[in-house]
Structures are given as structure tokens and as C-alpha cells.
Structure 1
């Protein structure tokens, strides 16, 4: 019996960028902040957080569009189709993988809604997950 951590694949809509990430996410949330809404074009961004070193780009480094300031915090999109793949956060130590770009199903599920204080007024949260005005305290 192997104790190896499964590796998931992910990619952008057009397939120009592909990545792998360990199925060892530490947390997952649905973010309702205005930045996540704008970058996804949706009411919220479902994301899963993991240490940055556990995500590997396997195709399309030349097709990346980096939006943000510096190595410590930025969004990574496909330059061709615009898909948001992941966000570098927490002083560059973690990535928030956009769960919609995962080809394989992760074992983690979002455990709450964050930044509901700025959620879209036209969207109603209808599940029973906890809601946080901003980011929950550790």
C-alpha cells in the first residue's frame, strides 16, 4: 500500500497552460470579494489553498499572464484564453488554486464563504456553510 499523495491535473480553458498539484490542500473557500468576482466573471471564486511548492507548471510557461505586484501576491492567468488558474498569496508562500481549473476532483470541498461583506448584491448564498465578513481568523 502506497502512502503517496495523489497528484491532480489542472488546465486553462484553451489548454495552453497545464499544471499539477498535490491533493493535499489545507483549506478551501468560496471567495466573494470584488477582485475575485471581477477576475472570474462570477459571483464568487471557489479556491483551494496549498503551499506554493506543491503546484508545478507542466505546460505553457510562455503563455502565462501575471497580474499583480511582485512575487509575493499576484494572479496567474492564461495569456491566450484569460482563464484564472491560481493566485499567489500569503507573502508568496501559498497559492489559491481556482477549483474550476482542476481536471481531477480534489478530496477537499469549500468549507465556508469569505468576504461576504462585499458579495454581489444580486447573489444569494443558499447553502449552510459558515459565512465570514472577511477572511476568518486562524
Structure 2
């Protein structure tokens, strides 16, 4: 099954397979600043499982490096996804999805950097940085 996603203004649309390998909440400083919130809710999947279906020319790549980049809509600046892990995976911002993914967030990462004013109140596993494989 395919999940659909889009930016706030509708210029960029994408599909991603409903086969996320992992999903969680990231509390790192970068994700907090990018989202303007206490954390980023994301799902990880191999990069070939995501397709831009409309507005590819409107995808703005920020902070591009050998590792990857953050993808935003160039018009409305909605964060859409990030290319990560040596450009092999994409972290889809779950808030950009129009559909409900089968896999729900099941952990918190970079809790050592979480906003001091935010309290995690669920019972999901928490990791100071990344969980070890």
C-alpha cells in the first residue's frame, strides 16, 4: 500500500510505501529547530520507496552533505523528509502524510537534548542518543 504526503501549500506531493522500518520521536536540537516544536515525528524507509509525484522542482534541499539533506517545499517551507544514513534512507516527517502509516512511533531518540520545558509522558523506550543495533 502507498501512503500519500504533501506540503502545506500543495505544491509538492509524494508517495511512500506503507512499510516503514522504524518510527519514532527525535528530540535533537536540529529537529526541534526544524519543526519549531518539542520533537520531530519521523518514519524511516529505504530511499527508493519514496517518490515525488508532483512538484519535484519545488523541493528545496537544505544542509546538503555526503550524508544527506533536509527536503522542504520551496514555496511554503513545510518540512517533508530528510535523506539520511549516507543517502540510503529517508526519514519521512509523519506530519506531512495524508494517510495513517501502519507503523506508529515506538521510541524516543536524542532525549539528552530534549527541550527542558517538555516532559515525555508515554512509556516508550527512551535513548540518550541513537539506540544500538
Instruction: Work out whether the TM-score is over 0.5.
Output: yes
In the TM superposition, 1:23-42 aligns within 5 A as: 23-42=18-37
Moved over 2 A (4+): 69-72
Question: What does residue 90 of structure 1 align with?
Answer: 85
Per-residue CA shift, 1:81-106, capped at 9, x if unaligned? Answer: 11110000000000000000000100
Per-residue CA shift, 1:3-51, capped at 9, x if unaligned? Answer: xxx0010000110000000001100010000000011111000000000
Residue 117 of structure 1 pairs with residue 112 of structure 2: yes
Deviation at 1:125, TM superposition (A): 0.4
Give 3-state SS (helix, strand or coil) of 2:70's partner: strand
Question: What does residue 127 of structure 2 align with?
Answer: 132
Question: What does residue 81 of structure 1 align with?
Answer: 76
Per-residue CA shift, 1:42-98, capped at 9, x if unaligned? Answer: 100000000000000001111111001235311000011111100000000000000
Contact 2:71–2:79 (CA under 8 A) maintained in structure 1: yes
Aligned pair count? 133
Question: What does residue 50 of structure 2 align with?
Answer: 55
- Cα RMSD of the aligned pairs, angstroms, is 0.8
Residue 104 of structure 1 pairs with residue 99 of structure 2: yes
Question: What does residue 7 of structure 2 align with?
Answer: 12
> In 1, Cα distance between the equivalents of 2:57 and 2:20?
26
> In 1, Cα distance between the equivalents of 2:66 and 2:98?
26
